[in-house]
Each structure stands twice: as C-alpha cells, then as structure tokens.
C-alpha cells in the first residue's frame, strides 16, 4: 500500500494527516474550516484515495495558517507515499464541470515544483471561507509534493461551484497520474529519476 502519515506542530497549527493513495475515497476531515472540510472531502471522494485530517489551528487569527499548513502536510505525505515513482502514469489532464463552472487541472509528478493558477471571478468569501486561500493551499501542496500543477478555470458564475470544480478535478488528476501502468517499466523519465 502506498501510504504515509505526518504529525506537524507549529506555534500556529497542530496537524495529524494520514494519506493512502490506493484507497476507496474514504475521508475523515476536521480542519475547523467548514467549507475547506467540504472541498477536501470532495477531493478525496473523486480521487479515490483515503484521507484523514485533524487540524487545531489559530482560527482566532484567521484561516490562513490552517489551510496553508494542511497543504504543506498533504504535499509531504503525498511525496512520501508515492515512494520511488516506478511505473506511475505521471501525467494527468482532467476537465471537470460543476454545473455552470468548468475547470481543467494539468498535473505532472515531475519532482519539480511549479504552479500556475489562472482563476478569475471568485468572490472574496464563500460563507466565512477566504477564497484567496485556495491558491495558498495548492501552492503549499505543490512546493512540498514537488509536482507541476496548472489550474485553469474556463468559466463559472457561482464561486462555490468554481472552487468545487477545481477540488474535484484535482482529486481526479491525482488519481490518474498516480496509477500504475504495467507498460511503464521503472521511472517514467528519460533522466531515470523524478
């Protein structure tokens, strides 16, 4: 089983996170940020991995530290759970509709962190969730998982739907890119390492 867990404690957050890549979509998410819990649950369900997240963060300040630090922890566990990356598909390109919203996630498990975020039209908040934290979460994940990730929103009107499209697509892209392909022998790179 490709899985990993982490306990990460700082002066701002205390996080326990368990990730199983080859899962069934089960989740237990408690970040203290309701909308973010919903997005991580959707991501897990559509990515068909198993994820447990418990976070005690300084929400009296704001949501930033909790959301960013969960991105860090998830990126670190993802990289560890993948192991040496032998036989993985490596790439994924997933377009996901959510009612009137449409996003495309392009992912390369490259060993090189690079992030492109082309999103326009989000309102500042969904409920009490600061939508600028979507970008912060994915930047933290990319930097720690060492992947290349492009997020492009083609269109949308409802901010909840737009973000939901992104998180569902991200889960699907992670699932696709991490799949083992029996035709791929060794590391899927001409360099011989990722």
Query: 61: pLDDT confidence band, cut at 50, 70 and 90?
Result: very high
Helix 34-47 crosses helix 64-82 at what angle (to 10 degrees)?
Answer: 20
Q: Which helix (H) or strand (E) holds 40?
A: helix 34-47
Instruction: Determine phi and psi for 22, rounding to 5 degrees.
Output: -90, 65
Query: 189: pLDDT confidence band, cut at 50, 70 and 90?
Result: confident
Q: Give the domain range for residue 139.
A: 3-178
Asked whether residue 185 is assigned to any structural domain, the reply reads: no
What is the Cα–Cα distance from 95 to 103, expressed in whole angstroms?
6
pTM of the entire structure? 0.96
**Which residues 6+ apart lie within 8 Å of 5 measured at CB?**
16, 17, 18, 19, 77
- What is the structure's pLDDT at 110? 95
Asked whether residue 186 is assigned to any structural domain, the reply reads: no
Asked whether residue 123 is assigned to any structural domain, the reply reads: yes
| Domain containing residue 31: CATH number | 3.30.230.40
**pLDDT at residue 58 is higher than 90:** yes
Asked whether residue 190 is assigned to any structural domain, the reply reads: no
Mean of the pLDDT values across residues 79-91?
96
What is the Cα–Cα distance from 21 to 82, expressed in whole angstroms?
8
Distance of CA 148 to the CA centre of its chain: 12
- Secondary structure (DSSP) of 101-127: EEEEEEEE--SS-EEEEE-----SEET
Asked whether residue 187 is assigned to any structural domain, the reply reads: no
Asked whether residue 115 is assigned to any structural domain, the reply reads: yes
**Dihedral sign computed on CA atoms, order 129, 131, 134, 140:** negative
- When the pLDDT of each residue in the chain is averaged and rounded to a whole number, the result is 97
Tokens coding 50: 């198993």
What is the Cα–Cα distance from 119 to 164, expressed in whole angstroms?
13
Q: How many domains does the chain have?
A: 1
Asked whether residue 83 is assigned to any structural domain, the reply reads: yes
- What is the structure's pLDDT at 194? 81
Mean of the pLDDT values across residues 56-75?
97
Asked whether residue 184 is assigned to any structural domain, the reply reads: no
């Amino acid at each position: 089983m490709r899985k990993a867990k982490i306990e990460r404690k700082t002066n701002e957050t205390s996080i326990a996170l368990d990730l199983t890549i080859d899962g069934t979509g089960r989740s237990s998410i408690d970040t203290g940020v309701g909308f973010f819990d919903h997005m991580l649950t959707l991501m897990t369900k559509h990515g068909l991995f198993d994820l447990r997240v418990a976070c005690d963060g300084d929400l009296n300040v704001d949501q930033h530290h909790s959301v960013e630090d969960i991105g860090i922890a998830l990126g670190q566990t993802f990289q560890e759970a993948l192991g040496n990356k032998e036989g993985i598909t490596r790439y994924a390109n997933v377009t996901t509709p959510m009612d009137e919203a449409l996003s495309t996630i392009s992912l390369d498990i490259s060993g090189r962190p690079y992030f492109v975020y082309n999103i326009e039209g989000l309102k500042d908040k969904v409920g009490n969730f600061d939508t600028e934290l979507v970008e912060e979460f994915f930047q933290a994940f990319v930097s720690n998982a060492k992947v290349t990730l492009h997020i492009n929103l083609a269109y949308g009107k409802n901010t909840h739907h737009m973000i939901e499209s992104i998180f569902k697509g991200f889960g699907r892209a992670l699932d696709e890119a991490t799949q083992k392909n029996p035709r791929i022998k060794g590391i899927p790179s001409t360099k011989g390492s990722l």
